[in-house]
Structure 1
Amino acid sequence: MRSTPTHRHTLHRLVIGAALFLTPFAGAHGQSKTLPADTRFFTPLPPTGAAQQVEGLLEQGKFKDALLLTTMETVPQAVWLTGGTTSQVTSTVTTTLVEAHLERAIPVFVLYNIPGRDCGSYSAGGAENTADYETWINAIAAAIGSQKVVIVLEPDALADLPSDCGYNPAQVNIAQLTADRYTQINYAVTTLEAGSQTLVYIDGGNSHWQAVPIMSARLAQAGITQAQGFFTNVSNFNLNNYESKYDTWVSECIAFANNPDNGGWRLGNYSYCASQYYSPLGTVNPDDITTWIYTDEWFQQNLGTAEPVTHFVVDTSRNGQGPLDASIYANAPYNQPAAVVQTLTNGGWCNPPARGLGTHPAASTGISLLDAYIWVKTPGQSDGTCDAAGGARAWDYTDYSQAQWPTDAAGQAVFDPLWGLDDPIAGSWFPQQAIDLAQRANPSLLP
């Protein structure tokens, strides 16, 4: 049976009813620019793909899996604003605010419309130019008004600047595009933060991407002092302890480079900061948090009188089992060569299998600078086609294949051997991944 709007809204009513029953009201409409510990975040209408999959599972008699996915949809998640006309985005924001008010909850909006989005890769798109982008931002700010909302502003926009995209300088003015990116983010921060209860967080990448000094300097240039803070781990899989430690260092590095203590030798020198990749006090391994003590020690010795005050939030929607360990594909029965394993590792951000839903959204974190865990990436939606053609996958089919897998070069170029299928395009529902995330959730979705 095909899902219809009626079926989808029926599932939504069940989701909302369960959410309201399970969670006490959290005072979503307070007047301060903070997230109280008892904050309730908004649970949006389930994606059409989720409703269709639940119906299909019920028809197949797979009641536990249907319950798992239904329960997943009771967990608060972000609402993505990815483009559209000003009237369209105004309508989406306004409708969401009404629904959030009925839930007595605070919505999380993800703004994902920056010009040159995703370096033209799987999630390519965005506004045509700075003027169009600013007009779009103005429409969102006007629609929000004085309502309390959280804004996750442009994932990857700072961790993946135009200068990181590998553009041909003979064809593209890379310096101008990069300068424009900072102009766009600064404008968005200033405009949106003018809302009396709008909390804006800007892109901080994740703990296995840009080094602490680089990310700290970029955040400063993008207007972090005018924002509520920054976010990390969006659409990624790093464990909470890695993210919160990395984020704390970024906050400390920002404080360090703005500390005039002892003659001001720290001022503007973000590059001095130790990181997840390097500390002068000992060898640091980005994949082994036990080695991060050397970076902790560096900050303890060099912060001086500076106090870190930059706050952050972390996306925990899919990090329940941590990041993909692609080294398993070097072993039997796959027996993939080192070059393939390295490519799989580099593409581990793109629909990795055997992950799980992570910590549920909450503003009570136990970490002073960590304002909240939130679900930003919509669980069950594809990261992209994740294939060899796009660079996220590689595979030696002579070492391992299955009978139904493609045997021609064209078919293999768009095939994902980790799932054994052609992945859906970015943003489309990925039913195999959705149920896998729900089954491997940490904490478990069901008692």
Structure 2
Amino acid sequence: MSPSPRPHPRSRSRSRRRWIIAAASTTAACVTAATGVWLAAGSASAGTISGTLYREPSGTAVARWLAANPNDSRAQVIRDKIASQPASRWLSNFNLSTVQAEVSGYVSAANAVGQIPALTLYGIPNRDCGGASAGGAPDLPTYQTWVSNIAAGLGNRTVLIVLEPDSIALQTCLSAAEIAARDAALRQATTTLKAGNPNAKVYMDAGHSAWNSAADQAGRLVNSGIAVADGFYTNASNFQSTDREAAYGRSIISALQGRGVSGKTQVIDTSRNGGAAGDWCGDDNTDRRIGQYPTTATNDANIDAYLWIKPPGEADGCAFQAGSFQPSLAASLAQSAPNPPATTAPTTMPTTVPTTAPTTPPTTAPTTTPTQRPPTDPPTLGSYGCTATYQTTGSWNGGFQGQVTVTAADAAINGWTVTWTLGSGQTISQVWNGALTTTSTAATVRNVAWNGSLAARASAQFGFLANGNASTAPALLCFGS
């Protein structure tokens, strides 16, 4: 897993919708806390799968924070109620050359301890409609190559795949032709993943209960190829109660059956739905709580698992950088949750995890060299009010994805500008978290409204997609105001 923050979808366009806020109802199988509802994990039957979900013992954002801050006053509750639980591994930093090895290592580690891994694929072009979690593949053919490389690393045991959050529920930025192309891409991706591992369980995006109607969402799922998938997931990165989502799922299943598609099951993201519902962002809302602990024992034949798709404590992109781990958010989510059920997850990485990449090569090997580059030598800190460092976070034949970190010097700044000379043949095709202007030889990115004010030594990041060769890291200049 890359040490840099990974973007997670919050469907920024959803901030313009009106939300339905509903209190979670209790049932005889529920344990009610002051601010949320947690279902008893138990060993009763569930949907179509059974077994223990895999908890990655190291390498996650929360694990890195705990290792660096063992004496922090928030560490105990974060360790006990969040880090102790399995969460989905996100594949969101687009890279053709390394993703197969990453998947193979992760899946093999889970297989070695007899547990079920969960992966979230988040690399489709124009993801998040260009919002705070923009990025992904530069085009659909390259995306399919990426999916093929993922499929080659899946092994042959059960693995849960959350396919492209927001890709079906959020289509407001796409034309009719683009929607049709995305639908075809999702069908192809599902078929490729199932062919790579027939035991893989692939779930497609169904938004959540306060978004599209069940009938509308079912129609979108049919168009996107739900017939070849195992089911759908709801509430990814959102806050709707488990009861609401289960009812919504039943309505979707019924609507699918009315369209001739049967046998589909649901997965619900319960990572943050134990408290208030409401708007899309949880960065500054202290009424959010973690929900049901992850399990396949859902006591509901329609629901295969309660998953933590969105790792608790990772930001949504409104008050903090999308995907960055924020201990204050994690502690707030966990503070009133009950103690989790006993777990048998390993505390150290199994010794059987492969240390080398799989022998099956990626479908396409990029021609560029290292994807994790050291920062360029910046000006002396404080020379221009800020510094900027660069990292290539993805590359493919003919293009690459870059990330720039802007850091204020010893005094606060109210705005920043980063400029660099483009390499031979390089052009910038997309920027997120910044405003781009270019000439034939140079690129300039200025802050947007929400990330320009930085306290002393504080940082912000922006990313971009580029055409051309990434072999030469740019020499960045940063100017603070």
Give the TM-score normalised by the residue count of structure 2.
0.58
Instruction: Give the alignment partner of residue 246 of structure 2, picking from 228, 244, 267.
Output: 244
| Distance 1:181-1:134 versus aligned 2 partners, 3 A rule | same
Would you say how many aligned residue pairs link Structure 1 and Structure 2?
Answer: 299
Alpha-carbon distance in 1 for matches of 2:67, 2:160:
32
Instruction: Give the alignment partner of residue 379 of structure 1, picking from 303, 307, 312.
Output: 312
1:147-158 equivalence runs, <5 A = 147-158=157-168
Is this contact kept in 1: 2:48–2:301, CA < 8 A? no
Secondary structure of residue in 2 paired with 1:109: strand
Cα deviation, residue 348, structure 1: 4.4
Output one character per residue of 1:206-234: Cα deviation in whole Å (capped at 9) or x when no partner: 00111111100000111111111000000
Q: Which amino acid aligns with 1:200?
A: V
1:396-411 equivalence runs, <5 A = none
Is this contact kept in 2: 1:111–1:153, CA < 8 A? yes
Cα deviation, residue 47, structure 1: 5.4
> 4+ runs of 1 displaced by more than 6 Å?
23-26
Cα deviation, residue 354, structure 1: 2.3
Cα deviation, residue 49, structure 1: 4.5
| Residue in 1 that maps onto 2:435 | none
| Distance 1:323-1:364 versus aligned 2 partners, 3 A rule | same
Alpha-carbon distance in 2 for matches of 1:186, 1:51:
35
**How well do the aligned residues superpose, as a CA RMSD in angstroms?**
2.6
Is this contact kept in 2: 1:323–1:348, CA < 8 A? no
Alpha-carbon distance in 1 for matches of 2:105, 2:48:
23
Corresponding position: 1:357 with 2:290:
yes
Q: Which amino acid aligns with 1:69?
A: I
1:255-294 equivalence runs, <5 A = 255-258=257-260
Secondary structure of residue in 1 paired with 2:239: coil
Corresponding position: 1:40 with 2:52:
yes
Instruction: Give the alignment partner of residue 117 of structure 1, picking from 111, 127, 138.
Output: 127
Instruction: Give the alignment partner of residue 73 of structure 1, picking from 69, 73, 83.
Output: 83
| Residue in 2 that maps onto 1:407 | none
Alpha-carbon distance in 1 for matches of 2:42, 2:179:
45
Corresponding position: 1:425 with 2:321:
yes
| Distance 1:46-1:433 versus aligned 2 partners, 3 A rule | farther
Output one character per residue of 1:301-356: Cα deviation in whole Å (capped at 9) or x when no partner: xxxxxxx53211100011111414xxxxxxxxxxxxxxxxxxxx4x4466533211
Q: Which amino acid aligns with 1:152?
A: V
| Residue in 1 that maps onto 2:96 | 86
Cα deviation, residue 439, structure 1: 0.7
The structure richer in helix per residue is 1
Which range moves more in the overlay, 215-224 or 101-110?
101-110
1:129-140 equivalence runs, <5 A = 129-140=139-150
Secondary structure of residue in 2 paired with 1:86: coil
Cα deviation, residue 246, structure 1: 0.3
Q: Which amino acid aligns with 1:247?
A: G
Alpha-carbon distance in 1 for matches of 2:167, 2:62:
28
Q: Which amino acid aligns with 2:216?
A: I
Cα deviation, residue 95, structure 1: 1.2
| Residue in 2 that maps onto 1:317 | 271
Unaligned runs of 5+ in 2: 4-40, 343-481
Corresponding position: 1:436 with 2:332:
yes
Cα deviation, residue 205, structure 1: 0.4
| Residue in 2 that maps onto 1:198 | 200
Secondary structure of residue in 2 paired with 1:144: coil
Cα deviation, residue 186, structure 1: 0.5
Alpha-carbon distance in 2 for matches of 1:350, 1:257:
39
Cα deviation, residue 445, structure 1: 4.5
Is this contact kept in 2: 1:147–1:198, CA < 8 A? yes
Is this contact kept in 2: 1:364–1:372, CA < 8 A? yes
| Distance 1:180-1:351 versus aligned 2 partners, 3 A rule | farther
Cα deviation, residue 145, structure 1: 3.5
Is this contact kept in 1: 2:94–2:136, CA < 8 A? no
Is this contact kept in 1: 2:163–2:204, CA < 8 A? yes
Secondary structure of residue in 2 paired with 1:236: coil
Output one character per residue of 1:55-93: Cα deviation in whole Å (capped at 9) or x when no partner: 566435x3xx32211121110110000143222111210
Alpha-carbon distance in 2 for matches of 1:34, 1:227:
13
| Residue in 1 that maps onto 2:189 | 188
Cα deviation, residue 373, structure 1: 0.6
Q: Which amino acid aligns with 2:186?
A: I
Cα deviation, residue 432, structure 1: 1.0
Is this contact kept in 1: 2:204–2:226, CA < 8 A? yes
Output one character per residue of 1:345-390: Cα deviation in whole Å (capped at 9) or x when no partner: 4x44665332111111111112111111111101111111x1xxxx
Instruction: Give the alignment partner of residue 253 of structure 1, picking from 252, 255, 258.
Output: 255
Alpha-carbon distance in 1 for matches of 2:277, 2:199:
34
Output one character per residue of 1:88-110: Cα deviation in whole Å (capped at 9) or x when no partner: 11121011022212332110000
The structure richer in strand per residue is 2
Q: Which amino acid aligns with 1:232?
A: T
Alpha-carbon distance in 2 for matches of 1:181, 1:35:
29
Is this contact kept in 1: 2:234–2:267, CA < 8 A? yes
Q: Which amino acid aligns with 2:53?
A: F
Give the TM-score normalised by the residue count of structure 1.
0.62
| Residue in 2 that maps onto 1:179 | 180
| Distance 1:321-1:222 versus aligned 2 partners, 3 A rule | same
Output one character per residue of 1:87-134: Cα deviation in whole Å (capped at 9) or x when no partner: 211121011022212332110000000110000001011111110000
| Distance 1:47-1:352 versus aligned 2 partners, 3 A rule | farther
Alpha-carbon distance in 1 for matches of 2:191, 2:284:
34
Output one character per residue of 1:237-269: Cα deviation in whole Å (capped at 9) or x when no partner: 11100000001000001112339xxxxxxxxxx
| Residue in 1 that maps onto 2:15 | none
Alpha-carbon distance in 2 for matches of 1:189, 1:233:
20
Is this contact kept in 2: 1:351–1:383, CA < 8 A? no
